Amino acid sequence: MAVATLAGCSGGAAARSTDSPRGVPGSGSRSLSTSARNVPTTATTLRRTPKPAPPYSFDGSVPAPRVIDTGANLVAIGTSLVYYGQWLYAHNPDGALIPRFAAGASRVEAAARKDLAQLRKFDSRIYEVETKAPQFSVISTDGTAASLRFVQYLTSRRAVGPDGSVVDQVSFEPPTTYVVVMVKNSQQRWRLVSVEQARP
């Protein structure tokens, strides 16, 4: 994962058919009787399906995902922190935002500072291609620190320029499993410490 290297550096909507149902007369049909034409109709409001966010951006058009960093749902917290880190790599490599997901003086913080500085220097982004949504599960916790298993169905990690050209790519054979470690900071908010690929 993008955050995985932190030394490393996310979804789609169903298409809606515009075809008319079979057997429905077109607007020019003359087969309707007078009585049928006088039957009142009920209007239906169609809701537009929102477009999925692009996998990367350079224009600030993709807002940051919500950070969940308090509470008892460690899976939701770990997922949120990882996704926020991935958003930085793919949409907004601002080093000032690293403390929002990474613990100070941690491996994640050090890797993110190095990686995001490179992305800013070369005006590039890193995003990941997955075949399905990742899975998180809790390994252990004592209330102030926790470890989670993160299974990612990752096929590639791509670095791209502003014109969309792929400048670097690493391929993966899914699934890839990571161990995520996080701790509570002095404000009692969870932050990532490390994201390491699990040994076979």
Q: Which fold has domain 74-197?
A: Nuclear Transport Factor 2; Chain: A, (3.10.450)
DSSP 101-163: TB-TTSHHHHHHHHHHHHHHHTT-EEEEEESS--EEEEEEE-SSEEEEEEEE-EEEEEEE-TT
0.85 exceeded by pTM? no
pLDDT in tens, 174-196: 999 999 999 999 999 999 999 99
Can you read off the two tokens belonging to residue 41?
A: 């109709």
CA 138 and chain centroid, separation: 20
What is the DSSP pairing of strand 176-184 with strand 190-197?
antiparallel
Calpha distance 8→35 (Å, rounded):
68
pLDDT in tens, 118-149: 999 999 999 999 999 999 999 999 999 999 99
